[in-house]
Chain A
Amino acid sequence: MPIISVRDLVVEYGGRRVLNGLSLDIEPGEIMVLLGGSGAGKTTLMRHLLGLERPQSGSVIIKGVDITTCTPAELKRVRRSMGVSFQDAALFNSLTIEDNVALALREHTSLAPATIQLDVWMKLAALGLADCGKLYPQELSGGMRKRASVARAGALDPEILVFDEPSAGLDPPVAAGLDELILLMKQAFQMTIVVVTHELASAFTIADRIAMLYQGTFLAVGTKEEIRASQNPHIRQFLDRVPDNVTDAHVIETYFENYVRGPEVKR
């Protein structure tokens, strides 16, 4: 039985359809990568998986609960089994790194303060941040902030972890380190991991399956090999890094012609 099941998800913003009847099943313990270019609908899909927005129609079922129609109390219960690392880390700037990680443990568990302190230290140490607990987010580098946000996302040892563009803005060694960390978390804790990205190298390193999004529709959902072998022109363009033809030569020619002729002609 899938741990996450998306059924006929339709999302519109101001009459513009952003997600066009998406359906997807994510099995427990797998790493599913949502791959696609800018504006494909990856982040919108992720926000619906997290219950941050309500769709026009369709359902998002997580651990048997439809989070598009459930009560706030049920949604809270589902969310306690999820952890999220946002693109810009989204750490609480008024709290130290230690407090950021400890927040959910303090408020959602009855663990003793000493146990929480030890747990937080272990999580930070596992991510190479053992000495950074007392620092504030603004005192850390981008890569360290990302790792701190991963530590916070994993604070309650959730069943589902969601990463939004984990490699964005990071140099290759740090990005590779994060990829390794994601694989390690899956192997060590059997977590179900959803990664939203447009980084091909990262996607093909970590994914068990890839869902390729294009203009709000899945072009393909399959293993890395299946996606690599796909002959769909949009997938090939994305994988082969072929640029979009965004410049219309005729429009540019007309503009310059009018510009040279002067304002009278333009009118």
Chain B
Amino acid sequence: MANFVENVGKATLKRLDYLGGLTIGTWDTFRALGTTLPTGNRYRWKASIVQMLQIGVDAIPMVGLMAMCCGFILAMQGASELRRYGALSLVIDLVAVGFTREIGPLLTAIAVSGRSGSAFSAEIGTMVVTQETDTLEVMAFDPIEFVVAPKLLAALITVPCLTVVCNVCGIFAGWIFMFFSTHLGLKLYFHDVMETLVLRDVVSGLVKSLAFAVIIVLVGCMEGFRVQGGPEAVGQATTTAVVRSTFLVIVADMIFTAIFYFTGKH
């Protein structure tokens, strides 16, 4: 019994330590964010642009393709049920609302977490193992400002943009399905989409994507900073970063969806 209580206590302390570290890391990174702006340190701004290319531009083909597949899947699955009630046209609503509110931000976050979150933890973990982070500190640089802040700024800009790309691709895939099912023209399809969507749908999706960006960057970077040992630990950190950030993204998604649901008009 004592052993059980001890184990529960240890596990609780470990998780509290993790949450505490994440909170402090978040605070420090947001404090350092000013230096990454064009008005701050020009080297950090340059680093941010490089990160924007890596997190955002390089991910467009992957996110676009994933969105097209999911859009098509959603349209097909929706149509198979809605057709029975003679409501095939509601597929447009389903795809448009589903993507802008939910699937677009979530799919983008999962793609960015897999691509960039793992890369952040591997990069920083390697820096820790090779004493590069110690060197930064000794050279009077703040590792958070030097390494994490440019990544956060880049993610805060690119993840919402990627979400928009994801939404457009997913909705476009919905049109492809509708075209082959009902020969619906593109113009009419997008007219229906615009009729269906309200600004709140788009904004709620973009707010979520901002929160997901923060989670992916901070969890990925923190796992890197927590690396202890050799190359094996870097590999473990990479896996943990992806698993934890994906989990936290889904939890955050649920919280945001609940907030938007209970504060919205029914």
Residues of chain A having any CB pair with chain B under 8 Å: 47, 50-52, 76-77, 79-80, 82, 84, 86-88, 90-93, 103-104, 106-108
Residues of A within 8 A of B126 (CB): 93
B131 near A104 with CB under 8 A, answer no
Q: Which residue of B lies closest to A106 (CB)?
A: B43
Which one, A52, A87, A88, A92, contacts B138 given CB within 8 A?
Answer: A52
Which one, B41, B134, B135, B140, contacts A76 given CB within 8 A?
Answer: B140
Which one, B41, B135, B141, contacts A90 given CB within 8 A?
Answer: B135
CB distance from B228 to the nearest CB of A (A): 12
Q: Which residue of B lies closest to A137 (CB)?
A: B130
For the complex of A and B, the 4 pairs showing the least CB-CB separation, nearest first, are: A90-B131, A79-B140, A76-B140, A90-B135
CB distance from B58 to the nearest CB of A (A): 16
What is the CA–CA distance of A70 and B43 in the complex, to the nearest angstrom? 28
A86 near B131 with CB under 8 A, answer yes
What is the CA–CA distance of A83 and B131 in the complex, to the nearest angstrom? 14
Residues of B within 8 A of A50 (CB): 134, 137-138
A90 near B137 with CB under 8 A, answer no
Question: What are 10 residue pairs bridging A and B, where the CB atoms are less than 8 Å apart in the complex?
Answer: A79-B139, A86-B131, A86-B135, A87-B131, A90-B130, A90-B131, A93-B130, A103-B139, A107-B43, A107-B141
Known: A106-B43, A107-B43. A84 touches B140 (CB 8 A): no
CB distance from B13 to the nearest CB of A (A): 15
B132 near A90 with CB under 8 A, answer yes
Residue of A77, A82, A88, A92 with most chain B CB atoms under a 10 A cut-off? A92
Residues of B within 8 A of A77 (CB): 140
A79 near B131 with CB under 8 A, answer no
B138 near A84 with CB under 8 A, answer yes
Residue of B130, B134, B140 with most chain A CB atoms under a 10 A cut-off? B140
Residues of B within 8 A of A107 (CB): 41, 43, 141
Residue of B130, B131, B132, B139 with most chain A CB atoms under a 10 A cut-off? B139
What is the CA–CA distance of A121 and B139 in the complex, to the nearest angstrom? 20
A52 near B43 with CB under 8 A, answer no
B43 near A82 with CB under 8 A, answer no
Residues of A within 8 A of B139 (CB): 79, 103-104
CB distance from A21 to the nearest CB of B (A): 25
CB distance from B158 to the nearest CB of A (A): 20
B134 near A90 with CB under 8 A, answer yes
